[in-house]
Amino acid sequence: MTGVRIYSYLCRWIIKQEAMDERSIKGKKGEELARIYLGQNGFTVLHVHWQHGHKELDIVAERGQMLHVVEVRSRTEPYLVEPSQTVQYAKQRNVIVAARAYIYKYKVEKEVQFDIVSVVYGEQDTDIEYIPNAFYPYYRKR
C-alpha cells in the first residue's frame, strides 16, 4: 500500500471507531436506564448481559410468576424507525435460543415473556417505553 492509501484507511478506521464508541456508550446508558426503569416498576433484575455462546440476553428479570427476557433498544432523535421495530426475526431467534439455554441452565419453571424496552434520547429529555409481549417464541413443524 502506498502512504496515501494507508493514511486514508487509518482516517476512515478512526472515524468508524469513534462512531462505534459513541453508539456503544449510548447503548450501555440505555441498558442502565432500562434496568432502573424495570426496578422502579416492580421487576427484580436477575441478570444483565447474560451470554450463551455469541448470543446475549440484555436483561433477565422476574415479576410475580413470570420471567421476563428484555431486549433493550436505544435511538437518538430524529430517527427513521421506531427502536422496537429494529428487533427483526433473526434477533428474535437469537434471543429465543439464548432464553432456552437460560431456562435449561437455571431450571426455570415460570412462564417466559419476551419484552422490549425502547429508550429514545431527545434534546431535552429521554423517553422510555416498555413493550410487554413484544414477540413470541415460534415453533417450527418438522
Residue 125 belongs to domain with CATH number:
3.40.1350.10
Predicted local confidence at residue 128, as pLDDT? 94
Predicted local confidence at residue 96, as pLDDT? 94
Predicted local confidence at residue 115, as pLDDT? 97
- Residues ≥6 apart with Cβ < 8 Å to 30: 72, 73, 74, 119, 121
Predicted local confidence at residue 47, as pLDDT? 97
Predicted local confidence at residue 100, as pLDDT? 94
Predicted local confidence at residue 130, as pLDDT? 96
The answer to pTM > 0.75 is: yes
Q: Write out the chain's pLDDT in tens, 142 residues.
A: 454 555 566 556 555 656 556 777 788 889 999 999 999 999 999 999 999 999 999 999 999 999 999 999 988 887 777 878 888 889 999 999 999 999 999 999 999 999 999 999 888 899 999 999 999 887 665 5
Element (DSSP H or E) covering residue 34: helix 3-40
Predicted local confidence at residue 98, as pLDDT? 96
Predicted local confidence at residue 86, as pLDDT? 86
User: Does residue 141 sit within a domain?
Assistant: no
> Which CA distances in Å does 36 have to 43, 48, 68, 80, 140?
10, 12, 15, 26, 36
Encoded amino acid at 61, one letter? A
User: Does residue 41 sit within a domain?
Assistant: yes
User: Does residue 61 sit within a domain?
Assistant: yes
Q: What is the domain range of residue 61?
A: 3-135
User: Does residue 73 sit within a domain?
Assistant: yes
**C-alpha cell at position 37:** 426503569
User: Does residue 140 sit within a domain?
Assistant: no
Predicted local confidence at residue 13, as pLDDT? 56
**C-alpha cell at position 38:** 424495570
Counted domains in the chain? 1
User: Does residue 63 sit within a domain?
Assistant: yes
